[in-house]
Amino acid sequence: MATKKMTEKNRRDPRAATPRDLLLFSGNECAWPDCRQRLMTEDGAWVGEVAHIRGAEPDSARYNAAFARDKDALRADANLILLCRVHHRRIDDPRSRDRYSVQGLHRMKRAHEDRFRRAVAAAEEQIYDLTRDSTVVYCTDLKRLAADWTDEDCEFFVPQLNAFADRLRGVTSAARGLLAVVVSRRPTDIGAPEAARRIGRPKEKVYELTRELEAARMASIDTEWFEDDLPERIDLWSPLEDWPEFWDALQEHMVERQHATVDDVIVGLDFSLLD
């Protein structure tokens, strides 16, 4: 008897921080214009739905074969929109989905989320000067981040990382948030325009925050690029002279963790997550 070959699905689960960011900037409302349907009820029940702008499978709405090859792009927050059940079905149903273009859904997402991004940005500004009240949780052995290291290796790098944590504490939470976005995209480089979209701030604000990171010897913007390079690329500076791959190692480690993200280390200053 022939065995039926299983077809691997193209869709992947979103990255750990994506659902949180989507909900934060949704304002707990369906993104459809003039729809005020709540995504989460007062008693905490989730009734909203996550919709793909570009579909993941060949028979799905707004599918594009070239785009679908990039599975990280498919599950990125830029390709996801939160809707109520009625409007999710409307944009995906074969009888009506041709009415809703990729560009139109992107405009809908931006128009809806921008209101709440501005509110989050305003709240962030209010706590801008409270950074130095942040508490650092130091690492002690790095056994989870670098499992194959010797005790001597760990003893060498632990004090350096904790010194960097103290330095990071002196950076504003907004700048730490930008740094976390750039690190989370590793090993892919990110430019200032994409960073601006991801943090919901103008590009000028990205430049301002990067200047703060540059003063702290953490990152800079490459304003002199060649034709084939990424314009306005944000370059990361390794906090450890003897470990230039630190940011890549951190990103890979946090992807593997189930209940923590890069934000928890860089923004939350919890370096114990590396142990």
State residue 272's pLDDT score.
Answer: 94
Q: Which of 10-14, 125-129, 258-262 has the highest mean pLDDT?
A: 258-262
Model confidence at 122: pLDDT above 90:
no
Provide the pairing of β-strand 80-83 with 49-52. Answer: antiparallel
Strands (E), 145-274: 219-222, 233-236
Asked if 105 contacts 53 with a C-beta cutoff of 8 angstroms, the reply is: yes
AA identity, residue 162: N
Yes or no: say if 166 and 136 are a contact pair by the CB < 8 Å rule. Answer: yes
- Whole-number Å distance between alpha carbons of 33 and 108: 7
Q: Judge whether residue 215 has pLDDT over 80.
A: yes
Return the domain boundaries, the chain.
17-125, 128-274
The per-residue pLDDT for range 138-160, each reduced to its tens digit, is 999 998 888 888 989 999 999 99
Predicted confidence (pLDDT) at residue 21 exceeds the cutoff of 80: no
Looking at domain 128-274, does it have CATH number 1.10.10?
A: yes
pTM higher than the cut 0.75: no
Query: Quick one: DSSP state of residue 188?
Result: S
Among 101, 80, 73, which residue's Cα sits nearest to residue 194? 73
pLDDT in tens, 173-211: 889 999 999 999 998 899 999 998 888 788 899 999 999
- The two tokens of residue 102 are 């990729």
Which tokens in the block code for residue 115? 């209101």
* Sequence-separated (6 or more) residues with CB below 8 Å from residue 178: 195, 199, 206, 209, 210, 213
pLDDT at 163 (0 to 100): 95
pLDDT band at 41 (very low <50, low <70, confident <90, very high): confident
Instruction: Write down the pLDDT at residue 69.
Output: 84
What is the tens place of the pLDDT at every residue in 256-265?
Answer: 887 889 999 9
Closest CA relative to residue 259, chosen from 9, 16, 5: 16
Name residue, tokens 């830029």: 78
The tokens for 177 are 């948030």
End-to-end Cα, the chain, rounded Å: 51
Return the closest-CA partner of residue 209 out of 185, 178, 239.
178
Are 104 and 91 within 8 A, CB to CB? no
What is the SS3 assignment for 53?
A: coil
Going by C-alpha positions, the residue among 230, 200, 206 that lies closest to residue 219 is 206
- For 85-123, b/e burial (b = at least 16 CB within 10 A) is eebbebbbeeeebeebeeeebeebbeebbeebbeebeee
